[in-house]
Amino acid sequence: DRSGTMVGTVLMMEKTPHAVAERQTEAGNEEEEEELHMIEKLSAFGINAGDIKKAKEAGFYTVKSIIMIPKKVLYAVKGLSEAKVDKMVDAASKLVSCSFITGVEALEKRKQIIKITVGSKAVDDILGGGIETQSITEVFGEYRSGKTQLSHTLAVTTQLEMDKGGGFGKVAVIDTEGAFRPENIVPIAQRFGLDPEKVLSNIVTARAYNTDHQIELLNHVAALCSAEPFRLLIVDSLTALFRSDFSGRGELAERQQKLNQMMSKIKRLADQYNVAVFVTNQVMADPGGGSVFVQDAKKPIGGHILAHASSVRMMVRKGKGESRVIKIIQHPNMPEADATFDISNQGICDGCD
């Protein structure tokens, strides 16, 4: 069971050329510790150790996760009565404030966000510096448009030092189509002057086989993030299994409801652990979306649910040869714009040799 292996794997960031100074790392961990209250701290408020264990087994590892989830979900956890849940939520509210803050405080919190380079300066520029932690970045396009190569490149650049555009963290990959190729990571790591073996040791991957398994793996990711410095979650592709598990208009409402639940879970994970989320999405023909200027129009799978859940949406299409054109469709800070990048065995770049 690969998902079990994923949870049991304990990988330590090595002291490599791309590691920051030890003191700086410890200082960063202390700052994160203040913000990231683990669920065990509820014991100081009279919460039974057995109840804390049950909550962790259900996928809740932080105090904030108890506040962020609807109570009815906690009520459904085996062994937790309504009285126990109410007491747990009350204790969590005393430890972590989820009330109003001033605009000044909100601005200060934004400073925790890390921007991670995608490997192309042109693409970084239209993104305002790269993909952001605490956000979901979605890229959609046809097959062979470069979505997976973007994912592979990010799996490496996330491990760079922060002053080099990285996130100095580990990477989790949920692979729904068998597209992850560890051998493709090697030349990308070499391009950035990193040790390929150490880069691969800081990437964990699990193959998802159905939508239930895909959602369950998010609990495993939360367990990993609670124990180690993960900075990126990749889901490639987000919607492939939803298309195969649900067919026809008769199952559309159920599919969208389940997709919404998964996206809510991903957003909570990104917010709790200051993780960047990069998801790839498939497209479908849009007969009514064409015009005299746009032939063979395509639209992303997932409808409004996915459009509202993603902070950033980008469309990628083939250009000439190995070049690709990527366009920002939706971004909270940046205008609509497009950029051209190249694909090579060293990932995505500007004018690859």
pLDDT attached to residue 99: 87
What is the Cα–Cα distance from 233 to 254, expressed in whole angstroms? 25
The full 3-state SS of 182-212, as one line of letters, equals: HHHHHHHHHHCCCCHHHHHHCEEEEECCCHH
Give the predicted TM-score (pTM) of the model: 0.86
What is the Cα–Cα distance from 137 to 153, expressed in whole angstroms? 15
Q: Taking 50 as the threshold, does the pLDDT of residue 138 lie above it? A: yes
pLDDT tens digits for range 157-208: 999 999 999 999 999 999 999 999 999 999 999 999 999 999 999 999 999 9
Q: Taking 70 as the threshold, does the pLDDT of residue 291 lie above it? A: no
pLDDT tens digits for range 294-313: 455 688 988 899 999 999 99
The dihedrals phi and psi of 292, each to the nearest 5 degrees, come to: -65, -20
Q: Taking 50 as the threshold, does the pLDDT of residue 11 lie above it? A: no
For residues 347 and 159, is the Cβ–Cβ distance under 8 A? Answer: no
Q: Indicate the pLDDT class of residue 287, thresholds 50, 70 and 90.
A: low
Average predicted confidence (pLDDT) for the chain:
88
CA 267 to chain centroid, in Å, comes to 8
pLDDT tens digits for range 42-89: 999 999 999 999 999 999 999 999 999 999 999 999 999 999 999 999
For residues 345 and 184, is the Cβ–Cβ distance under 8 A? Answer: yes
Q: Taking 80 as the threshold, does the pLDDT of residue 22 lie above it? A: no
What is the Cα–Cα distance from 27 to 33, expressed in whole angstroms? 10
Q: Taking 50 as the threshold, does the pLDDT of residue 25 lie above it? A: no
Q: Taking 50 as the threshold, does the pLDDT of residue 10 lie above it? A: no
pLDDT attached to residue 248: 85
Q: Taking 50 as the threshold, does the pLDDT of residue 352 lie above it? A: yes
Q: What's the whole-number mean pLDDT along residues 323-349?
A: 95
Q: Taking 50 as the threshold, does the pLDDT of residue 36 lie above it? A: yes
- In order, the DSSP letters of 257-318 are HHHHHHHHHHHHHHHHHT-EEEEEE-EEE-TTS--SS--S-EEETTHHHHHHH-SEEEEEEE
